[in-house]
Structure formats: C-alpha cells, structure tokens
C-alpha cells in the first residue's frame, strides 16, 4: 500500500475549563506546575494530543471495526507485518513499528499571545494560569487522605490554542468504496472523527479540569500537496461500518 503525504494545519483547541498538563516538578508553594515553552507561555504538547486522539480512535475502531489490538500492552497488540497491522497502530505506531506521522504542539493563538505579552528577560507571564488547592482522595477507602493537601497550577479557562501544523508525515490511505465523492479515505474519516471526539485534555478531568473542544472548522488538510475537504471526510463517518465489514470479509 502506497504512503501518502499528510499535512493537517489550523486546528484550534478551545478551552472551557482550567487545564493541567503537568511537568512533574514543584515550584515554591505549587506542588504541580504546568508545561511552558521557552517564551514562558503555556502550550499543549503534541504527545498529549496524540494520546487523546489514539484513545478516541481506538474507541471508534472497537465499535465499528471490532479491532482486537489493545494498547499500550505489547502482548495484547497486533504483531503482524505492516500491511496486516491494525489501523490504529498504522496511524499512531506500535512497539517496534514507529508511525510515519509526526504530531506537533498547539501554541496559544496570536490574540492570546499579544494579550499576555511575556517579558523578554524573565519570561514571566501573568494572567495565563491559576491555582487550586485540593485534598488527595483514597480510591480504596472512598474518602479523603489525611494530611495530603496539594496545590496544582492550571492554565485558565477561555484560552485558545492553535496547531500550525498539528500533523505532518505519511500514511497509507484506503479510498472509500461507497462514496460518490473523490478523496474520501477511511483512515482520515477515523482520524478526524477521533479528533472531534476529544472532550478533555490533561489531568484532573474527574475534578472538572481540562474540558475543551477540537475545532476543525478553519483547519486545512492536504494529501500529497493537494487540499481536500475535512467536512467531506466527517460527513462520511457512517462508512466506518462499511469499512469494518470489508475488513472482516
């Protein structure tokens, strides 16, 4: 199967609730800090977007394609050659088989970057984060843990991130068998539908953090340098069931 060049740009992430994508480090009285770029501004790493997209696409594949692959456990994942590997592993990669697609970070939109105006010397940015002090919960006991208060830093709600680009690289594409329109591919239907399903990012989702939407309305998708319609791919989402029937046949 031939590989096609993929480029997905202009993807926006609208943040409805405070977002915590942690660094694993503390700072001062803050136990859990959020990731920042060299300019001091918060951002969404490409690895976070890739992980959430994989989960969403795997859920769709399990529903429509009856995939048996269960990441991230290698013993439960498909181990056949490239052409027989499940679609999720072909898009996102598997142990011993890297994906040809590269995921890029989403940076704050131009309007937000201009509004926050980081200082050049200290890279200090005010107004982009907030803090929450919470108590650690014991899942097994079903109650709060004693003497386990912690303070988390979160990016404030209302921020908008833009990925320019979000995806670059190559991917094998199977044209839709039943579509009357050109340039409709099963892998792109699955990938774009998975992106639209993302509803939260980062940690603390059970505590009401990270609620968001992935906005593709202004995004642009190019296949082998030629722009194709994203909305057309999404309107053919029901054909994932047809694809599943073809795979099982």
DSSP string over 163-184: ESSSEEEEEE--B-SS-SSSS-
Q: What pLDDT does 181 receive?
A: 80
Q: What pLDDT does 241 receive?
A: 81
Q: What pLDDT does 198 receive?
A: 97
Quick count: other Cβ atoms within 10 Å of Cβ 86? 20
Helix (H) or strand (E) holding 246: helix 239-248
Of 6, 8, 5, the C-alpha closest to 163 is 8
Q: What pLDDT does 13 receive?
A: 98
Mean pLDDT of the chain: 86
Q: What pLDDT does 157 receive?
A: 95
- Give every residue of the chain whose pLDDT is below 70, as ranges: 1, 66-84, 118-124, 147, 244-249
Q: What pLDDT does 237 receive?
A: 86
Answer whether 21's CB lies under 8 Å from 204's CB: no
Calculate the CA 53 to chain-centre distance.
Answer: 4
Distances (CA, A) of 75 to 5, 57, 86, 93, 181: 31, 20, 14, 15, 40
C-alpha–C-alpha distance, residues 232 and 225, integer Å: 18
Q: What pLDDT does 240 receive?
A: 85
pTM, rounded to two decimals: 0.86
Q: What pLDDT does 104 receive?
A: 98
* Cis-peptide, bond into residue 72, ω within 30° of zero: yes
Residues 6+ apart with CB under 8 A from 115: 127
The full DSSP string for 58-93 is: HHHHHHHT-----TT-GGGS--S-TTTS-HHHHHH-
């Amino acid at each position: 199967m031939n590989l096609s060049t993929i480029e997905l740009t202009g993807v926006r992430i609208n943040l409805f609730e405070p977002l915590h994508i942690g660094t694993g480090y503390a700072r001062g009285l803050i136990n859990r800090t959020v990731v920042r770029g060299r300019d001091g501004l918060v951002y969404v790493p490409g690895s976070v977007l890739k992980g959430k997209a994989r989960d969403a696409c795997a859920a769709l594949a399990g529903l429509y394609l009856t995939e048996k692959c269960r990441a991230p456990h290698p013993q439960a994942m498909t181990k056949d050659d490239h052409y027989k590997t499940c679609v999720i592993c072909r898009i996102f990669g598997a142990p011993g088989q890297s994906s040809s697609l590269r995921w890029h970070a989403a940076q704050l939109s131009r309007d937000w970057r201009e509004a926050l105006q980081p200082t050049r010397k200290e890279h200090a940015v005010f107004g982009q984060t907030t803090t929450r002090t919470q108590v650690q919960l014991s899942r097994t006991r079903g109650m709060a843990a004693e003497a386990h208060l912690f303070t988390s830093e979160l990016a404030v709600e209302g921020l908008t991130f833009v990925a320019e680009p979000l995806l670059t690289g190559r991917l094998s594409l199977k044209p839709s068998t039943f579509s009357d329109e050109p340039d409709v591919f099963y892998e792109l239907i699955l990938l774009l539908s998975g992106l639209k399903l993302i509803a939260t990012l980062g940690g603390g989702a059970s505590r009401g953090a990270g609620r968001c939407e992935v906005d593709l309305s202004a995004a642009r998708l190019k296949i082998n340098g030629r722009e194709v319609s994203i909305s057309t791919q999404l309107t053919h989402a029901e054909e994932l069931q047809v694809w599943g029937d073809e795979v099982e046949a």
